[in-house]
C-alpha cells in the first residue's frame, strides 16, 4: 500500500474516547478522498487495529458500518478480506449546518493559503510533477464536461482532491497534510451541493496550472493570492445557497 504522507496520517493512533466514531470518519474520509484506492485491500484486522491502536471489536464495528454505507466490501474465503468498494460514495456524513459550513470554508482558506505559502518555499520538482499530473487528469476528464453531472463528476472531484493534497505534501509539513485531508473531506459534502458548469471547471483547472507555475517560480505572494481567489468562487456559490439566518 502506498505510504505517502497523507496515507500515513490515516493510520495514526486513534484518540479515545470516540475511537469508533473517529475510525469510521478517518477511514471513510480516506476512501472518499481516494487515498485508499477503489478495489484496494485493507490490512488484516489485527495489523490495522494495532496501527490505529484500537481494539479489534471496535475496528470490526467501524468496518461493518463502512460496509453498510457502501464504502467497503467484505469478501470471504481464499483471497478474502476487506476491500474498498469499486465505486464508493463521495459523502460520509450529512450536510453540515450553515454555521458549520461557514467554519469549514474559513478553515479551508487558512489551510490552503498556508500550504501555498510553504509550498512556494519548499516544493521540489517531484512535488510539482505530482500536481501537474492531476491538472492533466482533470483536463482529460473535462474534455467531456457535459458528462460531469451526478456521479460523472466524481472522477474529476477525486483528481481535484489529489491536487490539493499534493499541494500540502509540497509544503513538506506532516500536520498540514493531515489538515488538508480533513478540509477536503469536509468540502466534499459542500461541493456536492453546487452545480459544475463547464466554464467554472475550466477556469478552476487553469488556476491549478497557474499555481504550479508560481510554486516553481518561488512566488509565494502570487501563489497565496491565487489560492484565495480560487477558493472564493466556491465560497460565493455556496453562500448563495445557504439559508438566511432568522
CATH value at residue 158: 1.20.120.530
Domain check: are 71 and 103 in the same one? Answer: no
Domain check: are 78 and 189 in the same one? Answer: no
Domain check: are 107 and 191 in the same one? Answer: yes
Name the grid cell of 226: 491565487
Domain check: are 126 and 237 in the same one? Answer: yes
Domain check: are 138 and 209 in the same one? Answer: yes
Query: Of the ranges 9-18, 79-88, 127-136, which one carries the lowest mean pLDDT score?
Result: 9-18
Q: Which of 221, 200, 166 is nearest to 5 (CA)?
A: 166
**Does residue 192 lie within any of the structural domains?**
yes
Q: Give the DSSP H or E segment for 141.
A: helix 125-141
CA atoms of 71 and 11, how far apart (whole Å): 17
Q: Look at residues 84, 118, 135 and tell me which one is the last residue of a structural domain.
A: 84
Q: Look at residues 84, 118, 144 and tell me which one is the last residue of a structural domain.
A: 84
Whether residue 197 is predicted with pLDDT greater than 90 in this model: the reply is no
**Does residue 113 lie within any of the structural domains?**
yes
Whether residue 167 is predicted with pLDDT greater than 50 in this model: the reply is yes
Domain check: are 45 and 80 in the same one? Answer: yes
Query: Of the ranges 59-68, 105-114, 207-216, which one carries the lowest mean pLDDT score?
Result: 59-68
Domain check: are 128 and 71 in the same one? Answer: no
**Does residue 89 lie within any of the structural domains?**
no
Domain count, the chain: 2
Domain check: are 221 and 130 in the same one? Answer: yes
Query: Residue 49 belongs to what domain range?
Result: 5-84
- pLDDT at position 162 is 94
Inter-residue contact 172 to 128 (CB < 8 Å): no
Inter-residue contact 39 to 84 (CB < 8 Å): yes
Query: Of the ranges 74-88, 116-130, 134-148, 210-224, which one carries the lowest mean pLDDT score?
Result: 134-148
Domain check: are 133 and 235 in the same one? Answer: yes
Inter-residue contact 34 to 137 (CB < 8 Å): no
Domain check: are 160 and 229 in the same one? Answer: yes
Domain check: are 183 and 153 in the same one? Answer: yes
Whether the model clears a pTM of 0.85, i.e. scores above it, the answer is no
Whether residue 31 is predicted with pLDDT greater than 60 in this model: the reply is yes
Averaged pLDDT of the chain:
84
- Which of the four pLDDT bands, split at 50, 70 and 90, describes residue 232? confident
Domain check: are 183 and 125 in the same one? Answer: yes
CA atoms of 136 and 205, how far apart (whole Å): 9
Q: Give the E-state strand segments of the chain in sequence order.
A: 72-75, 81-84
- Which of the four pLDDT bands, split at 50, 70 and 90, describes residue 221? very high
Whether residue 244 is predicted with pLDDT greater than 50 in this model: the reply is no
**Does residue 92 lie within any of the structural domains?**
no
Q: Look at residues 50, 84, 118 and tell me which one is the last residue of a structural domain.
A: 84
Mean pLDDT, residues 205-231 taken together:
96
Amino acid at each position: 500500500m502506498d505510504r505517502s504522507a497523507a496515507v500515513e496520517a490515516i493510520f495514526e493512533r486513534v484518540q479515545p474516547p470516540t475511537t469508533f466514531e473517529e475510525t469510521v470518519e478517518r477511514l471513510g474520509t480516506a476512501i472518499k478522498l481516494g487515498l485508499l484506492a477503489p478495489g484496494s485491500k485493507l490490512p488484516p484486522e489485527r495489523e490495522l487495529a494495532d496501527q490505529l491502536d484500537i481494539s479489534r471489536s471496535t475496528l470490526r464495528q467501524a468496518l461493518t458500518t463502512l460496509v453498510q454505507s457502501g464504502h467497503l466490501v467484505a469478501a470471504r474465503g481464499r483471497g478474502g478480506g476487506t476491500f474498498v468498494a469499486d465505486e464508493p460514495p463521495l459523502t460520509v456524513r450529512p450536510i453540515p449546518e450553515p454555521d458549520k459550513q461557514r467554519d469549514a470554508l474559513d478553515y479551508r482558506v487558512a489551510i490552503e493559503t498556508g500550504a501555498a505559502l510553504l509550498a512556494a518555499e519548499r516544493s521540489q520538482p517531484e512535488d510539482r510533477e505530482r500536481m501537474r499530473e492531476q491538472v492533466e487528469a482533470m483536463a482529460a476528464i473535462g474534455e467531456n464536461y457535459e458528462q460531469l453531472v451526478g456521479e460523472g463528476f466524481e472522477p474529476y472531484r477525486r483528481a481535484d482532491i489529489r491536487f490539493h493534497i499534493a499541494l500540502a505534501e509540497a509544503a513538506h509539513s506532516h500536520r498540514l497534510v493531515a489538515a488538508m485531508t480533513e478540509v477536503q473531506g469536509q468540502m466534499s459534502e459542500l461541493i456536492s451541493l453546487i452545480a459544475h458548469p463547464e466554464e467554472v471547471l475550466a477556469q478552476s483547472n487553469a488556476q491549478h496550472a497557474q499555481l504550479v507555475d508560481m510554486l516553481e517560480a518561488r512566488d509565494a505572494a502570487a501563489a497565496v493570492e491565487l489560492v484565495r481567489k480560487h477558493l472564493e468562487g466556491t465560497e460565493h456559490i455556496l453562500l448563495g445557497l445557504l439559508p438566511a439566518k432568522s
